[in-house]
Structures are given as C-alpha cells and as structure tokens.
Amino acid sequence: MNLRAIVVSVLLVLLAGPRGTVGQRTAPFHLLRGMMRTALLAFVVASSLVAHAEPQGSGPSTGGNTAVVIELFTSEGCSSCPPADQILAKLASDQPVRGARIIALGEHVDYWDRQGWRDPFSSSAFTARQSDYANRVFGSERIYTPQLVVDGESELVGSDESAARRAIDRAARRPKAVLEIALPNVVPGLRRATDGTRTAAAIRVSGLGPLKRRGDADLVLAVTEDGLRSDVKRGENQGRTLTHGAVVRWMSAVARVGRDQDSLAGEYSLQLDPGWRRDRLRLVAFVQEQGSRRILAASTTPLF
C-alpha cells in the first residue's frame, strides 16, 4: 500500500470517530471531524493533481511557458470571420509564440443569427461576455466580429495574426498564478464516474497572493470542441464549408476567489452533451478578476 493510500485510510478511520453512549458523536469530536474532512479533501485534490496533471498551465508548471488565454468572438454569419477562425486554430495547434502556452476559446456570438444564417454554435451568453468586455475593459459600447481578446486585457481584429502574436507575447511576460487540472481518481467519496454525459475535474490554484489584485475573481471552466464544420446555406458565407477549432460548448463561473485568497482547491462536476465528440473535447480553466477582467491563471487538458 502506498503512502497516499495509507494516509487516506487513516483519515477515513478518524472521520468515523468515537461515539457517545446513545450512538451520537461527542461535541468536541464533531468539530475535529469537520477539520479532518477538510484536510482529507485538500490532500486528495493535491495528491491527484501531482499524479495526473498535465504540464499545461500558468507559471512554473509549464516548464517556463506562461498560459495566455485568447478569446475569439466570431460567427458563421460573418464573411470576415473564417480567416480569424483559422488563425485561432493555428495559434492553438502550432504554439508559435516563445514563452507562451496559448489557450484558445472560440466564442460564437448570436447577433449575426438574424442576418440570414443561424450559427449552430452561437449563444447569447457569448454576446453578453463580449459586451461586458466592451463596457468594462475597453470603454466602448461597440462590439464586432472577428474580435480577439487576449488575457482579458487587450483586443484586436481577429484576422490580424501579427498583431495577435505581439499581444500574446506581451501577455506572456506578465506574472501569473499557477493553475493545475486533474481528472477524477479513485478516492471514496470524491469519485464522479464518467458515464458519457458526466465527468469531473479537480482544480488547484496557488500563488495568487503576490499578484496585484483589485478585487474578487471567478474560477471559470469551459469545455471546447475541435474539428467542427458546417455547410452554410444562407447569409454572407452561403455555399461555404466552414471549419472551427476550440469552439466553446459550455462555460461557467464555478467558484469565487476572494481578493486576499492565495489558493483554491476543489472538485467540480461537468455536464456533457451526448452529441459532443469525446475525443475532441478539452477542459479549460482560468481565474478571472471580476472588475478588471484580467486573467490571473489558466490551464487546459483533454477531457478524455
């Protein structure tokens, strides 16, 4: 039996605890039991991360590369967007910027859906996210496609690959915290088995303290799918077959990180659509400041 199994076994025995004469745990041990449960969760998450995490993330865990999140706001109804979609996929696959681990998110907005073609990957949530960037970060009510947002701090026309590389290079030079992802393991009470529509991930964030933060932040999870294609029947791209990479299928803020909080560890469940190709799915996790929208840490890993 390895050390990890021994420690978990001891903690589980301690959690069972002593019982009083009428079968109830004594009051002092009730407090200790809560502390031990927290310790068990922290140990399980940390040990599973050490055993299973990919070397993809922000900070030292990437071997010197800093994670940079690039978000492309795009639409199949926009004739200017296909070149930007290809650039997004290229940046994610080729990783051409030295010192950067590029994490791509293709977010299809819905305001083009009224122009003759409904984008099958569009969502009003991505339109709202783009509008939030415009109002909070860029001081403008104008939104457009294709727009590339880099690390929540800068924006540019998504089809300008040279400008994108320069922005990614600048973002990679800024300090970030470390975020690590691990998929479920076999610890009693923490397993969430994958059954085709459900899975889970353990997330650990550390090193937030040294960053100059202005307020609380969110831990955001997203599921992306590669290799998607559409035969467009109407609109500006009528008659074209469009291909997409890193299309965001689902995105949600799953936890709050306090302004003075240095670390975070937990396990989060994910609901998957049966129509998504399992071999093309990735999980993206990032910590984003609520006010400034600056991304403080990020990582990604294949889901299967």
What is the tens place of the pLDDT at every residue in 266-303?
999 998 999 999 999 999 999 999 999 999 999 999 99
In this prediction, residues 132-159 reach a mean pLDDT of 96
pLDDT at 54 over 70: no
In this prediction, residues 49-65 reach a mean pLDDT of 48
**Residue 159: CB partners within 8 Å, gap ≥ 6?**
80, 83, 84, 87, 146
pTM of the model: 0.80
Predicted pLDDT of residue 18 = 42
DSSP string, 128-179: HHHHHHHHHTS--S---SSEEEETTTEEEETT-HHHHHHHHHHHHTS---EE
Q: What is the mean pLDDT of the chain?
A: 83
Predicted pLDDT of residue 192 = 53
Tokens of 163: 């400008």
Predicted pLDDT of residue 24 = 35
3-state SS, residue 46? helix
Higher-confidence residue of 100 and 57: namely 100
How many CA atoms lie less than 13 Å away from 67 in the CB half-sphere? 31
CATH superfamily of 59-302: Immunoglobulins (2.60.40.10)
In this prediction, residues 141-157 reach a mean pLDDT of 97
177 within 8 A of 207, measured Cβ to Cβ: yes
What is the tens place of the pLDDT at every residue in 71-84?
999 999 999 999 99
Rounded to 5, what percent of the chain is helix, strand, coil? 30, 30, 40
How many percent of the chain have pLDDT more than 70?
A: 75
Predicted pLDDT of residue 212 = 85
Predicted pLDDT of residue 141 = 85
DSSP character at residue 202: E
What is the tens place of the pLDDT at every residue in 102-132?
999 999 999 999 999 999 999 999 999 999 9
Predicted pLDDT of residue 195 = 59
pLDDT at 16 over 70: no
- Dist CA 232 CA 241 (whole Å): 6
* Lowest mean pLDDT, pick from 42-46, 155-159, 244-248: 42-46
pLDDT at 36 over 50: no
Rg over CA atoms, the chain: 22
Predicted pLDDT of residue 152 = 98
Predicted pLDDT of residue 37 = 44
What is the tens place of the pLDDT at every residue in 152-200?
999 999 999 999 999 999 999 999 999 999 986 433 444 454 556 888 9
